[in-house]
Structure 1
Amino acid sequence: MEHMAALQRTVAELREHCPWTRALDHQALAGYLTEEAEEVSEEIRAGSMGDPLRKELGDVLLQVVLHAQLAAERGEFTLDDVAEAMYSKLVRRSPHVYRPDGTLDLAGRVSRRSRLPGSASKLKRNRKKENSHVPHRQRLWARDPRFPREPHGGG
């Protein structure tokens, strides 16, 4: 994970020495995170794998590292805390694979297969959201406070 450590160090240095990066806050970054996640989704839907997907995932990772760095500067949490929370969630949500302490439980896997969480149906519901047909940039604009929600004029 040497590149992950280098990424964290670089983001910390940019926060300290780059005026633009130093001025960023969670609110300013929120739209970028959404946009980058949409770009990953577009690459996948387009069938682009390999390098194009790797680069888009890197853009999402940068957003996560930036948000964690902001939080660390405020003494709230670190990137490692984010990873720990996700690790714990994966273990907790996968009792058919892991024991509560996080160790693999391959012997119990088959017997618990019938108790699998309903994540597949949840994923299908999420894919069918009302605005899934709307281009991602249009969805971003709809959430941007600089753009009016209602048309101007009488009424």
Structure 2
Amino acid sequence: MKEFDDLIKVVEILRKKCPWDKKQTHETLKPYMLEETNEAIEAIDGGDPKKLCEELGDQLLHIVMHAEMAREKGTFGIKDVVEVIRTKMIRRHPHVFGKLKTKKILEIWKRWDKIKKIERYANKKGIHLTKLDDKKMKELSKEIKENERSKK
């Protein structure tokens, strides 16, 4: 999307040319990120769509800024952030994108929790979330069950 690409370019320029933006780190931006989240919540509570749009934009700026700082260090970039959340949402919605056939909210929530548990386990094992296909998820689920049995 052109507007998003333009935002990325603006952030890249800010990181190169603005003394304040150049100086920022993940740590220094934490309080501002929290402030913007609180302002978005206030906009939701106030039922003000224009204000919510503005505050979501501020949050998006933070996401792009953090991704740009990471890209500068060679750790990840905005494309990685987008890919991680895209694959995560597909993985966490097997009732939409996979073989699970249910419309029951409780069943969906139980599956969501199980998937999150597998994701945390994968993270501890150093497995990148974008590598969690169905086969790997089943393997990790089995490992978790075996580990839980061995602790009893």
TM-score with structure 1 setting the length: 0.66
Instruction: Specify whether residues 18 and 76 from structure 1 end up closer, same or farther in structure 2 by C-alpha distance, changes over 3 A only.
Output: same
1:119 Cα deviation after fit? 8.9
* 1:61-107 CA distance string (max 9 Å, x none): 000010000000000001110011101110111000003xxxxxxxx
Partner of 1:113: 103
Q: Structure 1: which amino acid aligns with 2:47?
A: G
Q: How does 1:78-89 map to 2 (within 5 A)?
A: 78-89=77-88
Going from structure 1 to structure 2, the CA distance change for 1:26 and 1:15 (only over 3 Å counts) comes to same
Identify which of structures 1 and 2 has the higher relative contact order when contacts are C-alpha pairs closer than 8 Å and 6+ apart.
Answer: 1
Query: Partner residue of 1:48?
Result: 48
Unaligned runs of 5+ in 1: 100-107, 121-155
Considering fraction of residues, name the structure with more helix: 2
The DSSP-based 3-state class of the residue aligned with 2:109 is coil
Counterparts of residues 56-67 of structure 1 (less than 5 Å) = 56-67=55-66
1:16-66 deviation digits (Å, cap 9, x = unpaired): 1111110000000011111101100011011112x2111110000000010
Whole-Å separation in 1 of the counterparts to 2:19 and 2:46: 36
Q: Which amino acid aligns with 2:40?
A: V
Task: Show structure 1 runs of 4+ deviating over 6 A.
Answer: none
Task: State percent identity of aligned pairs.
Answer: 36
Q: Quote the residue 1:96 is aligned against.
A: 95
What is the distance in 2 between the residues matched to 1:18 and 1:69?
14
Let me know the Cα RMSD of the aligned residues. Answer: 2.0
For 2:111 and 2:35, how far apart are their aligned partners in 1?
25
